[in-house]
Amino acid sequence: MPVEERDSATGYLTTGHEWNGITELNTPVPRPVYFFLILAATFALLGWILWPAWPIGTTYTKGILNVDQRTSVQASLEQAAMDRDVWAKRIAAESFPAIQADSDLMRIVHEAGPRLFGDNCAACHRADARGQRGFPNLTTSSWLWGGSPDAIFETIRVGINSAHPKSHISQMPAFGRDKLLPADSIDKVVAYVRSLTDPSVASEQPASTIDAGRAIFKANCTVCHGDDAKGKTDVGAPNLTDRFSIYGGDQQSVLTTLWGGRQGHMPTWEERLSPVSRKILALYVTSLRAPDQ
Ligand code: HEC
Ligand code: HEC
């Protein structure tokens, strides 16, 4: 086999290898390849000089630009903490109306509120705050203990029937079990209470039953639920004339309420959430109220 063989079609030397009559051209490496190799090597060298690169024992070469992601993360964390400090101080210091009038602070409330609510309150009140049986809907204007930011803040702080020494105490007596009323009186007052929200109850029952129920209500229930049955926020007694019911407004549920009483439990958050978090939650809950409710 000749040592040097030139391909007649291209004019290039061949490598001298031959497989079944096929030979390989010995073409030079294209220039752009050298170009990019040199470029990459220069970039790497420059990189070693400019940025953190080589580990040396316990430390590393820092690079003359003195930038790395560790210091920039550190800086942005410090900045975020400073920003948080600024708004947290303002939320702590300012009154509810002042915060509500400040769109920047309310933006914080709307960012942090859903997260705090989801982490701490949604298990009972549901993520949309609309509650479930036994746990009140917080998006209505029907309040046990009052719906102003101050009242909600206080409820969150002390809880209801909670371990807190200042806890709101909610006691719907067990009129049946504790024999405060005879069974037929309970049936009548149940009919009366249901007639307040459901007109069909009034038409199905004899008028005398509803009247007797009203009289029993006046004698036994108005201390807490008020003469008009619209509830009293100083004892946490709900409005019985609106369509929002914690335990259900059907015959069986109201009877169960009257028979066995109800004592809802809402934990105290004084130890578990900071005052700023509780303030954010009070404002967030206030903001959930649908305009038509
Ligand atoms: C373990 C269940 C539970 C958790 C968790 C819980 N709540 Fe409650 N909450 C209740 C119950 C039950 C009531 C109603 C008590 C009653 O019927 O007397 C209530 C009542 C309330 C009320 C009073 C409503 C009114 O009409 O006056 C507010 C406000 C409230 N909760 C806010 C919150 C917030 C904010 C959180 C989260 C920090 C939270 N709750 C977490 C169970 C819970
Ligand atoms: C000592 C005060 C008190 C008296 C007296 C009282 N209630 Fe209540 N009632 C409450 C409280 C507080 C609640 C809320 C209980 C809870 O959710 O923890 C309540 C809840 C209820 C509910 C449930 C409402 C709902 O949203 O599901 C009904 C119904 C009711 N009362 C009817 C009556 C009737 C009828 C009488 C009279 C026979 C009466 N109550 C007497 C304090 C009282």
Question: Residue 293 has what pLDDT?
Answer: 56
For the segment 267-293, what is each residue's pLDDT rounded down to a tens digit?
999 999 999 999 999 999 999 987 665
Average pLDDT over residues 230-251: 95
Closest CA to 149 of 107, 104, 91, 108: 91
Which residue among 224, 254, 265 is best mutated to probe the pocket of ligand 2, counting the most ligand atoms within 8 A of its Cβ?
224
CATH number of 76-153+275-287: 1.10.760.10
Take residue 167 and report the two structure tokens written for it: 């806890």
Closest CA to 268 of 158, 146, 169, 150: 158
For residue 33, the SS3 value is: helix
Distance, in Å, from the CA atom of 245 to the CA atom of 151, rounded to the nearest integer, reads 20
For the segment 11-33, what is each residue's pLDDT rounded down to a tens digit?
888 888 888 988 888 888 899 99
Task: Give the burial class of 236: count Cβ atoms within 10 A of its Cβ; 0-12 exposed, 13-18 middle, 19 or more buried.
Answer: buried
Check if 260 has its Cβ closer than 6 Å to any atom of ligand 2.
Answer: no
Helix or strand run (H / E) with residue 36 = helix 31-50
Question: Residue 195 has what pLDDT?
Answer: 96
The mean pLDDT value of the chain amounts to 93
How far, in whole angstroms, is CA 57 from its chain's centroid?
A: 47
Question: Residue 269 has what pLDDT?
Answer: 97
Q: Are the beta carbons of 293 and 188 closer than 8 angstroms?
A: no
How far, in whole angstroms, is CA 159 from its chain's centroid?
A: 19
For domain 171-260, the question of CATH label 3.30.390.30 is answered with no
Q: Are the beta carbons of 162 and 268 closer than 8 angstroms?
A: yes
Q: 163 versus 27: which is more confidently predicted?
A: 163
Q: Ligand 1 centre from 264 Cα, in Å?
A: 9
* CATH 1.10.760.10-classified regions of the chain: 76-153+275-287, 171-260
- pLDDT grade, residue 71 (50/70/90)? confident
The DSSP line for 97-144 is: HHHHT-HHHHHHHHHHHHHHHHHHTHHHH-TTS--BTTB--SSSS--S
Closest CA to 150 of 235, 84, 233: 233
- pLDDT grade, residue 197 (50/70/90)? very high
For the entire predicted model, the pTM comes to: 0.79
DSSP state at residue 179: T
Q: Is the pLDDT of residue 75 over 60?
A: yes
Q: Which residues line ligand 1 (CB under 6 A)?
A: 120-121, 123-125, 134-136, 138, 143-145, 152, 155-156, 160, 170, 236, 246, 264-267, 269, 281, 285
Question: Residue 292 has what pLDDT?
Answer: 60
- pLDDT grade, residue 69 (50/70/90)? confident
Q: Is the pLDDT of residue 2 over 70?
A: no
How far, in whole angstroms, is CA 46 from its chain's centroid?
A: 49
Average pLDDT over residues 231-238: 96
Take residue 233 and report the two structure tokens written for it: 């926020």
Question: Residue 70 has what pLDDT?
Answer: 82
Specify the amino acid at residue 188: K
For the segment 89-108, what is each residue's pLDDT rounded down to a tens digit?
999 999 999 999 999 999 99
Q: Are the beta carbons of 246 and 231 closer than 8 angstroms?
A: no
